[in-house]
Amino acid sequence: MNCIERTGKPPLVLFVHGYCQSCAYWVPTVDRIAQQGGHGIAVDLPGFADSANLPGPYTMEAFADGLVGLLDARKIDRAVIVGGSMGGVVAQQFALRHPDRVERLLLVATGAYSADPKAALAKAESLSGSPWDEAAVRPIVQGFFHTPPSTTRISELLAIAGMASLQVAIEAARSNAATNTLARLSQIKVPTLIIQGRHDRARTVAHGEEMQTAITGARLEVLENSGHTPQLEEPDAFHALALPFLIPGL
Protein backbone atom coordinates (compact mmCIF):
# COMPACT_ATOMS: atom_id res chain seq x y z
CA MET A 1 0.00 0.00 0.00
CA ASN A 2 1.11 3.57 -0.61
CA CYS A 3 2.81 5.30 2.30
CA ILE A 4 4.88 8.28 3.33
CA GLU A 5 7.94 7.25 5.35
CA ARG A 6 10.55 9.16 7.30
CA THR A 7 13.31 6.90 8.62
CA GLY A 8 14.92 7.30 12.01
CA LYS A 9 15.45 5.58 15.32
CA PRO A 10 13.01 2.89 16.49
CA PRO A 11 10.34 2.31 17.43
CA LEU A 12 8.42 2.71 14.19
CA VAL A 13 5.31 4.87 14.61
CA LEU A 14 2.61 3.75 12.16
CA PHE A 15 -0.23 6.16 11.34
CA VAL A 16 -3.65 5.10 10.05
CA HIS A 17 -6.06 7.60 8.51
CA GLY A 18 -9.82 7.83 8.71
CA TYR A 19 -12.69 7.36 6.29
CA CYS A 20 -12.17 9.13 2.94
CA GLN A 21 -8.86 10.48 4.18
CA SER A 22 -5.23 9.62 3.33
CA CYS A 23 -1.73 9.69 4.69
CA ALA A 24 -1.81 13.47 4.12
CA TYR A 25 -3.76 13.84 7.38
CA TRP A 26 -0.74 12.46 9.26
CA VAL A 27 2.25 13.75 7.28
CA PRO A 28 2.72 16.80 9.58
CA THR A 29 2.99 14.46 12.56
CA VAL A 30 5.35 12.10 10.74
CA ASP A 31 7.53 15.10 9.91
CA ARG A 32 7.60 16.22 13.55
CA ILE A 33 8.65 12.73 14.60
CA ALA A 34 11.42 12.78 12.01
CA GLN A 35 12.62 16.15 13.30
CA GLN A 36 13.15 14.47 16.67
CA GLY A 37 15.01 11.56 15.08
CA GLY A 38 12.13 9.08 15.04
CA HIS A 39 10.82 6.69 12.38
CA GLY A 40 7.30 7.28 11.09
CA ILE A 41 5.09 5.86 8.36
CA ALA A 42 1.66 7.13 7.31
CA VAL A 43 -0.26 4.80 4.99
CA ASP A 44 -3.02 5.06 2.43
CA LEU A 45 -5.31 2.17 3.31
CA PRO A 46 -6.41 -0.10 0.46
CA GLY A 47 -9.17 1.55 -1.58
CA PHE A 48 -8.26 5.08 -0.49
CA ALA A 49 -6.18 7.85 -2.11
CA ASP A 50 -3.07 6.47 -3.84
CA SER A 51 -3.98 2.94 -2.71
CA ALA A 52 -7.39 3.20 -4.41
CA ASN A 53 -6.65 0.37 -6.83
CA LEU A 54 -5.71 -2.17 -4.16
CA PRO A 55 -8.23 -4.98 -3.67
CA GLY A 56 -10.38 -5.57 -0.60
CA PRO A 57 -11.95 -6.78 1.54
CA TYR A 58 -12.37 -3.26 2.88
CA THR A 59 -13.12 -4.08 6.48
CA MET A 60 -11.62 -2.92 9.75
CA GLU A 61 -10.19 -6.38 10.36
CA ALA A 62 -8.68 -6.70 6.86
CA PHE A 63 -7.14 -3.23 7.10
CA ALA A 64 -5.52 -4.21 10.40
CA ASP A 65 -4.16 -7.46 8.98
CA GLY A 66 -2.79 -5.57 5.97
CA LEU A 67 -0.79 -3.33 8.29
CA VAL A 68 0.83 -6.42 9.77
CA GLY A 69 1.93 -7.30 6.25
CA LEU A 70 3.52 -3.87 5.94
CA LEU A 71 5.50 -4.47 9.16
CA ASP A 72 6.50 -7.94 8.00
CA ALA A 73 7.81 -6.55 4.71
CA ARG A 74 10.10 -4.25 6.71
CA LYS A 75 11.05 -6.99 9.18
CA ILE A 76 9.65 -4.92 12.05
CA ASP A 77 8.31 -6.94 14.97
CA ARG A 78 6.55 -4.21 16.96
CA ALA A 79 5.32 -0.70 16.27
CA VAL A 80 3.56 2.18 17.93
CA ILE A 81 0.11 2.31 16.33
CA VAL A 82 -1.76 5.58 15.79
CA GLY A 83 -5.27 5.74 14.36
CA GLY A 84 -7.62 8.64 13.76
CA SER A 85 -11.38 8.32 13.26
CA MET A 86 -11.98 5.10 11.29
CA GLY A 87 -8.24 4.56 11.51
CA GLY A 88 -8.69 4.45 15.26
CA VAL A 89 -11.11 1.57 14.79
CA VAL A 90 -8.51 -0.15 12.61
CA ALA A 91 -5.91 0.51 15.32
CA GLN A 92 -8.16 -1.12 17.92
CA GLN A 93 -8.56 -4.15 15.67
CA PHE A 94 -4.80 -4.27 15.18
CA ALA A 95 -4.20 -4.24 18.94
CA LEU A 96 -6.85 -6.91 19.55
CA ARG A 97 -5.88 -9.21 16.68
CA HIS A 98 -2.10 -8.78 16.89
CA PRO A 99 -1.30 -7.78 20.48
CA ASP A 100 2.31 -8.91 20.27
CA ARG A 101 2.97 -6.44 17.43
CA VAL A 102 1.94 -3.31 19.37
CA GLU A 103 4.26 -1.29 21.58
CA ARG A 104 1.99 1.69 22.34
CA LEU A 105 -1.42 2.82 21.11
CA LEU A 106 -2.71 6.32 20.31
CA LEU A 107 -6.42 6.60 19.52
CA VAL A 108 -7.56 9.93 18.08
CA ALA A 109 -11.13 11.12 17.47
CA THR A 110 -12.45 7.59 17.54
CA GLY A 111 -14.61 5.23 19.57
CA ALA A 112 -15.39 1.59 20.21
CA TYR A 113 -18.65 1.75 18.25
CA SER A 114 -20.74 4.05 16.08
CA ALA A 115 -23.07 6.38 17.94
CA ASP A 116 -25.99 5.32 15.73
CA PRO A 117 -25.11 2.06 13.92
CA LYS A 118 -28.46 1.77 12.14
CA ALA A 119 -28.20 5.28 10.72
CA ALA A 120 -24.55 4.69 9.75
CA LEU A 121 -25.46 1.48 7.94
CA ALA A 122 -28.34 3.19 6.16
CA LYS A 123 -26.01 5.96 5.05
CA ALA A 124 -23.53 3.40 3.73
CA GLU A 125 -26.25 1.66 1.73
CA SER A 126 -27.46 4.96 0.29
CA LEU A 127 -24.07 5.51 -1.34
CA SER A 128 -24.68 2.67 -3.79
CA GLY A 129 -27.54 4.57 -5.42
CA SER A 130 -25.83 7.95 -5.66
CA PRO A 131 -23.00 9.43 -7.73
CA TRP A 132 -19.62 9.36 -6.02
CA ASP A 133 -18.66 12.96 -6.72
CA GLU A 134 -17.77 16.19 -4.94
CA ALA A 135 -21.34 16.66 -3.74
CA ALA A 136 -21.10 13.25 -2.03
CA VAL A 137 -17.76 13.81 -0.33
CA ARG A 138 -18.14 17.48 0.63
CA PRO A 139 -20.31 16.90 3.74
CA ILE A 140 -17.94 14.12 4.82
CA VAL A 141 -14.89 16.39 4.62
CA GLN A 142 -16.67 19.36 6.18
CA GLY A 143 -17.64 17.14 9.10
CA PHE A 144 -13.98 16.61 9.97
CA PHE A 145 -13.56 20.15 11.32
CA HIS A 146 -14.90 22.38 14.06
CA THR A 147 -13.30 25.44 12.47
CA PRO A 148 -13.10 24.97 8.68
CA PRO A 149 -9.67 25.32 7.07
CA SER A 150 -9.06 27.55 4.06
CA THR A 151 -10.93 27.08 0.81
CA THR A 152 -7.73 25.89 -0.81
CA ARG A 153 -7.16 23.29 1.89
CA ILE A 154 -10.75 22.08 1.71
CA SER A 155 -10.34 21.66 -2.06
CA GLU A 156 -7.25 19.51 -1.48
CA LEU A 157 -9.08 17.34 1.03
CA LEU A 158 -12.10 17.00 -1.26
CA ALA A 159 -9.79 15.71 -3.98
CA ILE A 160 -8.30 13.18 -1.56
CA ALA A 161 -11.77 11.98 -0.51
CA GLY A 162 -12.85 11.65 -4.13
CA MET A 163 -9.91 9.35 -4.91
CA ALA A 164 -11.53 6.60 -2.83
CA SER A 165 -13.35 4.00 -4.86
CA LEU A 166 -17.10 3.82 -4.45
CA GLN A 167 -16.70 0.18 -3.44
CA VAL A 168 -14.43 1.02 -0.51
CA ALA A 169 -16.65 3.94 0.48
CA ILE A 170 -19.56 1.54 0.85
CA GLU A 171 -17.77 -1.47 2.30
CA ALA A 172 -15.63 0.45 4.79
CA ALA A 173 -18.64 2.44 5.96
CA ARG A 174 -20.58 -0.80 6.48
CA SER A 175 -17.74 -2.40 8.44
CA ASN A 176 -17.11 0.69 10.53
CA ALA A 177 -20.80 0.99 11.37
CA ALA A 178 -21.05 -2.67 12.36
CA THR A 179 -17.91 -2.76 14.52
CA ASN A 180 -18.18 -2.73 18.31
CA THR A 181 -14.98 -3.44 20.23
CA LEU A 182 -16.06 -2.11 23.63
CA ALA A 183 -16.46 -5.51 25.33
CA ARG A 184 -12.96 -6.55 24.18
CA LEU A 185 -10.97 -3.42 24.93
CA SER A 186 -9.94 -4.77 28.33
CA GLN A 187 -7.69 -7.16 26.36
CA ILE A 188 -5.47 -4.24 25.37
CA LYS A 189 -2.55 -4.16 27.79
CA VAL A 190 -0.15 -1.69 26.15
CA PRO A 191 0.18 1.99 27.16
CA THR A 192 -2.71 3.84 25.53
CA LEU A 193 -3.39 7.52 25.00
CA ILE A 194 -6.80 8.75 23.78
CA ILE A 195 -7.19 12.25 22.32
CA GLN A 196 -10.65 13.61 21.54
CA GLY A 197 -11.87 16.95 20.20
CA ARG A 198 -14.39 18.70 22.40
CA HIS A 199 -16.55 19.60 19.39
CA ASP A 200 -16.35 16.27 17.57
CA ARG A 201 -19.88 15.31 16.56
CA ALA A 202 -19.03 11.85 15.23
CA ARG A 203 -16.81 10.51 18.02
CA THR A 204 -17.54 12.40 21.20
CA VAL A 205 -15.68 12.87 24.46
CA ALA A 206 -18.08 10.30 25.92
CA HIS A 207 -16.74 7.75 23.43
CA GLY A 208 -13.25 8.53 24.68
CA GLU A 209 -14.31 8.17 28.28
CA GLU A 210 -15.76 4.72 27.57
CA MET A 211 -12.52 3.59 25.94
CA GLN A 212 -10.48 5.02 28.81
CA THR A 213 -12.57 3.05 31.31
CA ALA A 214 -12.28 -0.16 29.31
CA ILE A 215 -8.50 -0.05 28.69
CA THR A 216 -6.52 -0.44 31.91
CA GLY A 217 -4.30 2.55 32.52
CA ALA A 218 -5.45 4.48 29.45
CA ARG A 219 -5.15 8.25 29.54
CA LEU A 220 -7.71 10.60 27.98
CA GLU A 221 -6.96 14.13 26.81
CA VAL A 222 -9.53 16.53 25.33
CA LEU A 223 -8.60 19.39 23.00
CA GLU A 224 -11.07 22.19 23.57
CA ASN A 225 -10.98 23.82 20.13
CA SER A 226 -11.03 20.73 17.92
CA GLY A 227 -13.58 18.67 16.07
CA HIS A 228 -12.79 15.39 14.31
CA THR A 229 -9.19 16.13 13.27
CA PRO A 230 -7.38 17.55 16.32
CA GLN A 231 -3.95 16.86 14.80
CA LEU A 232 -4.76 19.43 12.10
CA GLU A 233 -7.03 21.77 14.04
CA GLU A 234 -4.80 22.26 17.08
CA PRO A 235 -1.44 20.95 15.88
CA ASP A 236 0.74 22.47 18.59
CA ALA A 237 -1.49 21.34 21.44
CA PHE A 238 -1.97 17.93 19.84
CA HIS A 239 1.72 17.30 19.31
CA ALA A 240 2.61 18.53 22.79
CA LEU A 241 0.52 15.61 24.06
CA ALA A 242 1.24 13.05 21.37
CA LEU A 243 4.97 13.24 20.71
CA PRO A 244 6.22 12.54 24.25
CA PHE A 245 3.90 9.54 24.34
CA LEU A 246 4.82 8.23 20.89
CA ILE A 247 8.60 8.61 21.11
CA PRO A 248 9.56 8.88 24.78
CA GLY A 249 13.24 9.47 25.28
CA LEU A 250 14.03 10.77 21.80
Are 76 and 12 within 8 A, CB to CB?
yes
Three-state DSSP state, 81? strand
Nearest to 144 by CA among 21, 9, 62: 21
- HSE on the CB side for 189, CA within 13 Å? 6
CB-count exposure of residue 72 (10 Å: 0-12, 13-18, 19+): exposed
SS3 content of the chain, % helix, strand, coil (to 5): 50, 20, 35
Active-site residue, selected from the candidate residues 39, 146, 207, 228: 228
Single out the catalytic residue among 22, 85, 114, 175.
85
What spatial distance separates the first Cα and last Cα of the chain, rounded to whole Å? 28
DSSP 9: E
Distance CA 64, CA 16 (A): 10
Give catalytic status of residue 85 as yes or no: yes
Provide the pairing of β-strand 38-43 with 3-6: antiparallel
Question: Of 175, 199, 200, 207, which residue is the catalytic one?
Answer: 200
Q: Is 98 a catalytic residue?
A: no
- Residue count (the chain): 250
Residues annotated catalytic, as ranges: 85, 200, 228
